[in-house]
Structure 1
Amino acid sequence: MRIALYNLTTTTKIGGVESFVWDLARELVKRGHEVDILGGVGPRRETTGARVYTFPFISRQFWQALPPLRRAYAEAKLLERLTMAVAALPTLAGGKYHIIHLQKPYDLLPALVARRLSGAKVILGCHGEDFYRGDRWLARQVDAAVSCSRFNAQTIAGRYGFTPEVVFNGIDTDLFHPQPPDLTLRARLGVPATAPLLLFVGRLQPWKGVETAIRALPQIPQAVLLIAGDGEDRARLAAIANELGLNERVRFLGSVPRPQLPALYASVDLLVATSHASETFGIGPVEAQACGLPVVATRFGGFPEVVAAGQTGLLVPPRDPAALATAVNDLLADPSRRAAMAAAAPAWASQFAWPAVVDRIEAVYRAVVGESVRAL
């Protein structure tokens, strides 16, 4: 099959959706499909075997600078996407694709226009709550939809009136698997040998809840929190750590390339996942568990689907530093329980390995294409 993976930020940003597109492209190419990635002009490139096309766009920051759109986040993102669509539509419509796979409903209009012009089938990938006026009418015209979790599928059903097929995001288990710890990490960071190491991995956005982890630290004796990621919330989080006198116990590592994450997961005691909004899956907890690292996560969004509570980690209420501290302390005080969780975690995470995920995505593709290409 010829498949277009269409998403502006695939080539401009680092994040869960973006990594999903690159990984999906790589896995589809392995299975003999012809895959094109269509994204915005940006610096990000990965080796996948897919062809990559980039197109200019007018960023959401430009649109949000206009007074009528200053607080209209969804509308600004929509306009950003539509400006790319102007340049991308000839390629999207002329690429002789069997499948156009979107990751955001902001791209529904150009995809549906391309379908009218080319006959391609449109698959809507659902990862969040990117809703806007008029999206209901457009979404109901797609040929199929997939959602990254049951939680997200229920949200989409409430908005659009249909329930997408649940296809969890995938992880590369050739990369994410148990390995020996990096024995130099503590020395490089100047962390005492006896200090428990907690890890957060993700973009630094307010809704990721890293503030909760920082505010829990005074209740977790000696623990050091490593924050792997960057984003708009970093300065605020650093100010909170300074205000609480925790500068030596909160370490900002910046963005860590994915190939370096397994060694980091192998070298800490627990992963903390603290989101309280917009968390429809949770790729960080899945990667950590695949590496044999137990997780303490909030009972929110997709986290209860990706963490086996009591078996590979614990779930706590969101935005509750005391509850987070209690769960972390319980596991730190019980090495045998933590070891049992670490041993169980990789097998649990194997359900999210890419071969199983691509099997489900291919099944959706084949259900909507015509008989002439079904065997491809």
Structure 2
Amino acid sequence: MALPPDFTLLQVIPELETGGAEQTTIDVARAVVEAGGKALVASRGGRMAARLEAEGGRLAAMPVQSKNPLVILGNAARLAQLIRREKVSLVHARSRAPAFSALWAAQATNTPFVATYHGVYKARSRVKRWYNSVMTRGDLVIANSDYTRAHVLAAHRVDPGKVVAIPRGIDLDRFDISAVTPGRLERLRQSWGLVAGDPRTHFLLAGRLTRIKGHLTIIEAAARIKARGREDFVIVFAGDDQGRTGYGEELTQAIGRAGLADRIRIVGHCDDMPAAYRLADIAILPTTVPESFGRAAVEPQAMGRPVIASAHGGTVETVADGVSGWLVAPGDPDAWAAAMVRAIDIGGERRGEMGRSGMNRVRQLYRVDAMCAATLDAYARVLAARHGRDEVP
């Protein structure tokens, strides 16, 4: 189903710094532009704003990251003005706090409203459940995995026909082995302080420096591997602390206490993730709480690298245990140590076979063009339903 020729999309997301939701925002904006429409993103902005504009989208800078009720009300007015001025066809919210502003603005202007559930939000109180439910009050809810869709249906009284699962997609032009030149690898190797030809097995944990990403589990697992007399591994933590300097210092201290300063490196934000995965032998995703999708488990598979991931959430869908990687009990250092040793000991040839299996799987299931096509089709169906021509799937 095609979008109307004058289609204008407004996506609303707190920031454009880093992360899966932010990348998906840019991917969909590009797809709308390629389809002949206009793509606006209301956000505080961030390092990915330049990429948005390079893809043909436009940033509408406003403080939608704020949870202050007065700012949220002000954002609703600003968004309504933007919707009227730009003749926005559909509003797509990608986070809860700005979803309130976006929903109110969409209602005030009689504009279709869609929201994506990018995470599995906790709700220990009635107030929090109400807060989370803002994502379900529009025309359609997009869940980024089957796991997330099941959660939405279990947590909210919503018509199953209004909740569709569209897995995140990976840009296979960007995550393409043949596009990663030796020069890119060498620049990144030098910036990380790695040595060419180091025979040790390299593990990469890519993700923000937050407790839920499981860095401490890996430090404990590494200490157990070291206690067995193993010297044949290096672990890289690549990710931004986003101002959480206390947690970064905690990790540094834990590494020092375990005597692992020569085995674990904290290298900060990385702009060249395709090269990062190629520098590694194995990617690890030891999240302590379920990831709704887990882009950091799919991207390395696209680059031919096997993945060790926590056996919960969306990664149970994206990692084929024993085929493209391994699924391990979350938060269990002994289980993680055993899995990492197994990954080292099977050798490069077997890891290469698993990497190729992962590449094939990603190309079949998680292409960004398929994700964008499904999203634009969902938009078209919402617009058609508003005009009584069809039903939302």
TM-score after normalising by structure 2: 0.83
Query: How large is the Cα RMSD of the aligned pairs?
Result: 2.6
Give identity over the alignment, percent.
Answer: 26
- Check if 1:153 corresponds to 2:149: yes
- For the residue of structure 2 that corresponds to 1:9, the secondary structure is coil
Letter in 2 for 1:168: P
**Residues 106 and 113 in structure 2, CA contact (< 8 A), matched pair in contact too:** yes
Alpha-carbon distance in structure 1 between the residues aligned to 2:95 and 2:129:
14
Q: 2:304 aligns with which of 292, 295, 301?
A: 292
Q: Which residue does 1:52 correspond to in 2?
A: 59
- Check if 1:33 corresponds to 2:33: no
User: Deviation of residue 326 (structure 1)?
Assistant: 1.0
Q: 2:13 aligns with which of 7, 16, 38?
A: 7
Q: Which residue does 1:279 correspond to in 2?
A: 291
Query: 1:26-82: per-residue Cα shift (whole Å, max 9, x none)?
Result: 22212222111111255542222011110146x76xxxxxxxxxxxxxxx5777655
Query: 1:8-40: per-residue Cα shift (whole Å, max 9, x none)?
Result: 223xx2222112212221222122221111112
- Check if 1:20 corresponds to 2:24: yes
Alpha-carbon distance in structure 2 between the residues aligned to 1:195 and 1:99:
51
Residues 261 and 103 of structure 1: is their aligned pair in 2 closer, same or farther, counting only changes over 3 Å? same
**Residues 27 and 354 in structure 1, CA contact (< 8 A), matched pair in contact too:** no
User: Deviation of residue 176 (structure 1)?
Assistant: 0.4
Q: Which residue does 1:68 correspond to in 2?
A: none
Letter in 2 for 1:346: M
**Residues 8 and 84 in structure 1, CA contact (< 8 A), matched pair in contact too:** no
Alpha-carbon distance in structure 1 between the residues aligned to 2:198 and 2:108:
63
- For the residue of structure 1 that corresponds to 2:43, the secondary structure is strand
Letter in 2 for 1:38: A
Alpha-carbon distance in structure 2 between the residues aligned to 1:249 and 1:342:
24
Query: 1:279-316: per-residue Cα shift (whole Å, max 9, x none)?
Result: 11111111100000000000021111111111100000
Residues 80 and 203 of structure 1: is their aligned pair in 2 closer, same or farther, counting only changes over 3 Å? farther
Q: Which residue does 2:336 correspond to in 1?
A: 324
Q: Which residue does 1:71 correspond to in 2?
A: none
Residues 264 and 83 of structure 1: is their aligned pair in 2 closer, same or farther, counting only changes over 3 Å? same
Alpha-carbon distance in structure 2 between the residues aligned to 1:373 and 1:38:
29
Q: Name whichever of 157-166 and 135-144 sits farther off.
A: 135-144
Q: Which residue does 2:81 correspond to in 1?
A: 90
Aligned counterparts, 1:1-376, within 5 A: 1-10=7-16, 13-40=17-44, 42=46, 44-45=48-49, 46=51, 47-56=54-63, 76=67, 81-82=72-73, 84-130=75-121, 132=128, 134-135=130-131, 138-162=134-158, 163=160, 164-179=163-178, 182=185, 189-191=193-195, 193-220=198-225, 221-222=230-231, 223-231=233-241, 232=244, 233-257=247-271, 260-277=272-289, 279-335=291-347, 336-350=349-363, 351-370=365-384
- For the residue of structure 2 that corresponds to 1:112, the secondary structure is helix
User: Deviation of residue 251 (structure 1)?
Assistant: 0.7
Alpha-carbon distance in structure 2 between the residues aligned to 1:208 and 1:77:
27
Alpha-carbon distance in structure 2 between the residues aligned to 1:149 and 1:80:
31
> Please, which runs of 5 or more residues in structure 2 have no aligned partner?
1-6
Query: 1:186-217: per-residue Cα shift (whole Å, max 9, x none)?
Result: 66624571211110101010011011111111
Alpha-carbon distance in structure 1 between the residues aligned to 2:43 and 2:189:
39
Letter in 1 for 2:9: I
Alpha-carbon distance in structure 1 between the residues aligned to 2:366 and 2:296:
12
In the alignment of these two chains, the number of paired residues is: 355
Alpha-carbon distance in structure 1 between the residues aligned to 2:190 and 2:18:
29
Residues 325 and 43 of structure 1: is their aligned pair in 2 closer, same or farther, counting only changes over 3 Å? closer
User: Deviation of residue 107 (structure 1)?
Assistant: 3.0
**Residues 175 and 262 in structure 1, CA contact (< 8 A), matched pair in contact too:** yes
Residues 114 and 154 of structure 1: is their aligned pair in 2 closer, same or farther, counting only changes over 3 Å? same
Query: 1:127-148: per-residue Cα shift (whole Å, max 9, x none)?
Result: 1144635336644531001011
- For the residue of structure 1 that corresponds to 2:297, the secondary structure is helix
Q: Which residue does 1:67 correspond to in 2?
A: none
User: Deviation of residue 86 (structure 1)?
Assistant: 4.6
> Please, which runs of 5 or more residues in structure 1 have no aligned partner?
61-75
TM-score after normalising by structure 1: 0.86
- For the residue of structure 1 that corresponds to 2:9, the secondary structure is strand
Alpha-carbon distance in structure 2 between the residues aligned to 1:56 and 1:138:
19
Q: Name whichever of 164-173 and 188-197 sits farther off.
A: 188-197
Residues 110 and 81 of structure 1: is their aligned pair in 2 closer, same or farther, counting only changes over 3 Å? closer
Letter in 2 for 1:105: R
Letter in 2 for 1:227: F
**Residues 209 and 239 in structure 2, CA contact (< 8 A), matched pair in contact too:** yes
